[in-house]
Structure 1
Amino acid sequence: MIKGGTFQLVHGIDLIPSHDQQWDYSNFEYQGISPKPSSDQTSCPNLEKNELSMWVEHVTKQLIEDNIPETSTNASLQSDSTMAYGDDESRPRKAPRRSCTAEQQQLEQADQCSNGGSKELSSLNDHGLSLITLLFECAVAISLDNLGEAHRMLLELTQLCSPYASSCAERVVTYFSKAMASRVINSWLGICSPLINQKQVHCAFHVFNNVSPFVKFAHFTSNQAILEAFHRRDRVHIIDLDIMQGLQWPALFHILATRIDGPPHVRMTGMGASMEVLAETGKQLSNFAKRLGLSFEFHPVPEKFGYMDLSVLQVRQGEALAVHWLQHSLYDATGPDWRTMKLLQGLAPRVITLVEQDLALGGSFLDRFVNSLHYYSAMFDSLGAFLPTDDQSRHKVEHSLLYREINNILAIGGPARSGDDKFRQWRSELARNGFLQVPMSGNAMAQAQLILNMFPPAHGYGLVQGDGSCLRLGWKDTSLFTASVWTSSQASSSSSSSR
């Protein structure tokens, strides 16, 4: 239902507010953003298809066929599901060698990739295609521990590309080059200690929420599932595994406070790396709940979920428990996956809301490189189609969020570097460990679609209901985020017996 420019879906309360307002963190009111299409058509031209990802796919296939036929990355170019990965031993036998006519050869390869001289690919920017080909060759050299050759290529790349370029390809190559340079340095020196400025990351995440539907998609689909799980419950407990600024919770609080059968007592456990940030988040959420007349407790826990003891979470009998996890590649928010799974099993929550990037972090370096390049090409394309080249919000998201994720995957990520094996896909692991998937409701689907309606259809965002139980949000032909809802078998049995 639409009334006065405001979407109304549940209990007559505005779950997605009107478009002409924005977040005001000072009073912590959740308000929606109405993105306006960019008038700058030079930011990333020719976007009838996912152009940059198309370049990546064709160059990858050509290099695999010509130089590295035995690598497993050929299986990793799936855009509509979680990408496949090989193990650390699925490595190429040799690196492609560059000669004095390397740029000519790159352009010849690009022509070969174009399916017999396709007009579509021959019209692409030669400079961008040359950069991507050189970046691939550098990745192959790194995968073979040919660090001297990789260093030489990286020096060449740093002179050829800029994060402020009008070309999406050049911006992507810039950040991948920086991440790979960090990887080379770490390999030489044997160190790997990323420093995270939490406030800067959270500020950039806030900007990302304003200019893209991905964060809103995660927040509102999760809120809807939690709201339904809390139906007629008078004591509820939410555990947010990486709460950041808590941007999604005021919308849920507003609905709970105006519930027809009366508001519940809400207890929230917020987890994160910085006690200072957690304390500020708790203060803002408490003030907002107080203004709504909602009974509320907040417990900050400056620790990773996977390292915690069950007793620290203080689960109380009679509470409806929800666990929320918005995954990202910025940093490891939860610790070892196997310990995280064990703790979830011990908690037996009524509902788990999980939003995953459709990007696996395991496998060899070359696997991670190919998959992440395909994934972030689509992310950069989506920003370039909407925001002008010199837009500060766009640069902030690319530099402070996307680059940090790329760096974490390439320079830091991987089982051999972190010491912990990561699940390729949490959805499959939850199913294997006794959790039951809950189909997304019609309300969740409707809200996700309303979020996309805030962005002009020409921008290329798409929503797909996968397997009848989850929702996927993507750009053009690439699935980027998947939201799913789960419940423990114990909670499901308890719910059935109480009816």
Structure 2
Amino acid sequence: MRAGLEVVQGALELIQPHEQWDYNNTIGGYATTATTQSSTMNGFSDYGSKLPMNSERPNELSEWVEHVTKTLIEDLPESNPEESLQTHANVPTYGSVSPQMSETRPRKMARGNWSNEVQFGEQGNKGLNLIGLLFECAVAISVDNLGEAHRMVLELTQMASPYAPSCGERVVAYFAKAMASRVINSWLGFCSPLTNHKLIHGAFQVFNNISPFVKFAHFTSNQAILEAFQHRDKVHIVDLDIMQGLQWPALFHILATRMEGPPHVRMTGMGTSMELLVETGKQLSNFAKRLGMSFEFHPVVKKLGDISDLSMLQIRRGDTLAIHWLQHSLYDATGTDWKTMRLLLELNPRIITLVEQDISHGGSFLDRFVGSLHYYSAIFDSLGAFLPNDDNHRHRVEHSLIHREINNVLAVGGPGRSGDDKFKVWRSELGRNGFLQVPMSSNSLAQAQLILNMFPSTHGYRLAQVDGTLRLGWKETALYSASAWTCRVLR
């Protein structure tokens, strides 16, 4: 009983506003400086809460979550000192939190009363009820009360639609699907999801066309790699998850027109489908040929953390090595984190470009649930500000990409999922393992600002430069971070 109640107390402590931005010193509506303050949940940093006077309101789901949080805290029953010492009985539960508590559980919070103090309108009040039920379901899953979680999942799937006008309701619908998968996986004891890479790659290309996030990752990393390759005649790029190689034509074009002449470029593209890797290699080879640039492509159907022999990557002495990793939550692209780190150290690259989603894959289920709820509410809100509800491109991205990411963060692994083998923040781990950060240059910042200029500033995209890292966010939520690293001693 105590364990179940402690989990719920932990959930209350986790429900904090997501990472926020400091908008001091803005240029053209985009923040260019920020001060890192104390750390908050899930390894996120707190950028303060100051917003410009003309700042947009937070997205609707953030408002709902904050209101539900306030209500949960105010609804805590008065504690009995003796009970508090023995069983933490002063902590409320979200439904039946464990089989052992079925006869003695405290009352639920009445979801219907959550909108008494603040009126959000019909859609907003429905959203409050949905968020409350979603939190109850998450806590039930976290303590393995699968029967109660299953009941709430069925209720959620009937109440929320992925095609709703409300961004918040769409988020809840996809979270409900992921949590349904989590319940099934927990009953079965394992999860081995199939991955349709062609479907994912197609949706990823659509995402690149309708949002700045992918372009931000590509252009900021290209600039860092270009600077590392300056005056180098033989260069080698290892892309840890190359997909369709959308990033590289732009870099090839710049390399081909260098004043000192183009280098010989070798590229190792890693992925899980040889067919797709070969097709990507052909496309890149044809593009390089049109530019008159010497180019070799080497496909590797392996994850970096699964490689036992570095010769598979065909690293040649004398080549300047760059490693690029656009981290995402679609699937595990690199294998076990500590093995991946070991290989990165052995490769001894001149530059590592890393673009991370500001969301944790490690830690407890509740930890991942709360962080991902804030994160994906901002992603959905950004798409909703740019595209109408019935837009086919928006549906394709939400269903084929974002839904899969949510499912991967919450559902994969069942009861065997552990945070021990997943780093919360790769930037911190690189620094702890002997890599030195290379500050993203002013040219990288300029590239990112040019990308954001393609979208009206009223849409809410924000750019910040923090301790040498470039960070892109939506309204008050940080979403993507781009950083560059090098080995302490280059061989």
Give the 3 Å change call, closer, same or farther, for CA 446–68 of structure 1 in structure 2. Answer: farther
Where 2:368 maps in the other structure, the secondary structure is helix
2:471 maps to what in 1? 472
Where 1:236 maps in the other structure, the secondary structure is strand
Give the 3 Å change call, closer, same or farther, for CA 67–313 of structure 1 in structure 2. Answer: farther
Match of 2:64 among 34, 55, 60: 55
CA distance in 1, matches of 2:77, 2:331: 31
CA distance in 1, matches of 2:109, 2:135: 16
Counterpart residue identity of residue 110, structure 2 = Q
Per the TM alignment, residue 109 of structure 1 is displaced from its structure 2 partner at its CA by 2.6
CA distance in 2, matches of 1:63, 1:305: 44
1:217 aligns with 2:216: yes
1:196-215 alignment, distance < 5 Å:
196-215=195-214
1:351 maps to what in 2? 351
Give the 3 Å change call, closer, same or farther, for CA 416–111 of structure 1 in structure 2. Answer: farther
Q: Deviations over 1:187-222 (max 9, x none)?
A: 112231111000000000000000100000000000
Counterpart residue identity of residue 387, structure 2 = L
Per the TM alignment, residue 63 of structure 1 is displaced from its structure 2 partner at its CA by 3.2
1:343-382 alignment, distance < 5 Å:
343-382=343-382
1:239-254 alignment, distance < 5 Å:
239-254=238-253
Tell me if the contact between 1:415 and 1:421 (Cα under 8 Å) persists in the aligned partners. no
TM-score of the superposed pair, with normalisation by structure 1? 0.79
CA distance in 2, matches of 1:398, 1:103: 32
Counterpart residue identity of residue 348, structure 2 = A
1:109 aligns with 2:108: no
CA distance in 1, matches of 2:261, 2:113: 69
1:236 aligns with 2:235: yes
CA distance in 2, matches of 1:472, 1:398: 22
Per the TM alignment, residue 231 of structure 1 is displaced from its structure 2 partner at its CA by 0.2
2:315 maps to what in 1? 315
1:96 aligns with 2:105: no
1:444 maps to what in 2? 444
Structure 1 residues without counterparts, runs of 5 or longer: 1-45, 70-91, 495-499
Tell me if the contact between 1:202 and 1:244 (Cα under 8 Å) persists in the aligned partners. yes
1:292 maps to what in 2? 291
Tell me if the contact between 2:213 and 2:472 (Cα under 8 Å) persists in the aligned partners. yes
Tell me if the contact between 1:172 and 1:376 (Cα under 8 Å) persists in the aligned partners. yes
Per the TM alignment, residue 122 of structure 1 is displaced from its structure 2 partner at its CA by 6.7
Counterpart residue identity of residue 114, structure 2 = Q
Counterpart residue identity of residue 175, structure 1 = Y
1:363-442 alignment, distance < 5 Å:
363-412=363-412, 416-417=416-417, 421-442=421-442
CA distance in 2, matches of 1:96, 1:306: 39
Give the 3 Å change call, closer, same or farther, for CA 299–312 of structure 1 in structure 2. Answer: same
Per the TM alignment, residue 407 of structure 1 is displaced from its structure 2 partner at its CA by 0.3
Tell me if the contact between 1:67 and 1:95 (Cα under 8 Å) persists in the aligned partners. no
Give the 3 Å change call, closer, same or farther, for CA 286–450 of structure 1 in structure 2. Answer: same
Per the TM alignment, residue 343 of structure 1 is displaced from its structure 2 partner at its CA by 0.6
Give the 3 Å change call, closer, same or farther, for CA 111–355 of structure 1 in structure 2. Answer: farther
1:479-490 alignment, distance < 5 Å:
479-490=478-489
- The range that moved more, 139-148 or 473-482, is 139-148
CA distance in 2, matches of 1:366, 1:234: 50
Per the TM alignment, residue 479 of structure 1 is displaced from its structure 2 partner at its CA by 0.2
Give the 3 Å change call, closer, same or farther, for CA 415–347 of structure 1 in structure 2. Answer: farther
Give the 3 Å change call, closer, same or farther, for CA 111–221 of structure 1 in structure 2. Answer: farther
Where 2:324 maps in the other structure, the secondary structure is strand
Give the 3 Å change call, closer, same or farther, for CA 362–430 of structure 1 in structure 2. Answer: same
Tell me if the contact between 1:56 and 1:373 (Cα under 8 Å) persists in the aligned partners. no
CA distance in 1, matches of 2:109, 2:165: 23
Q: Deviations over 1:107-160 (max 9, x none)?
A: 423445xxxx4x7x5786111221111111111111121111111111111111
Where 2:279 maps in the other structure, the secondary structure is helix
CA distance in 2, matches of 1:378, 1:248: 24
2:175 maps to what in 1? 176
1:459 aligns with 2:459: yes
Give RMSD over aligned pairs.
Answer: 2.4
Where 1:262 maps in the other structure, the secondary structure is coil
TM-score of the superposed pair, with normalisation by structure 2? 0.81
Taking every aligned residue pair, what percent have the same amino acid on both sides?
71
CA distance in 2, matches of 1:426, 1:270: 21
CA distance in 2, matches of 1:390, 1:209: 19
Give the 3 Å change call, closer, same or farther, for CA 104–58 of structure 1 in structure 2. Answer: closer
CA distance in 2, matches of 1:215, 1:166: 25
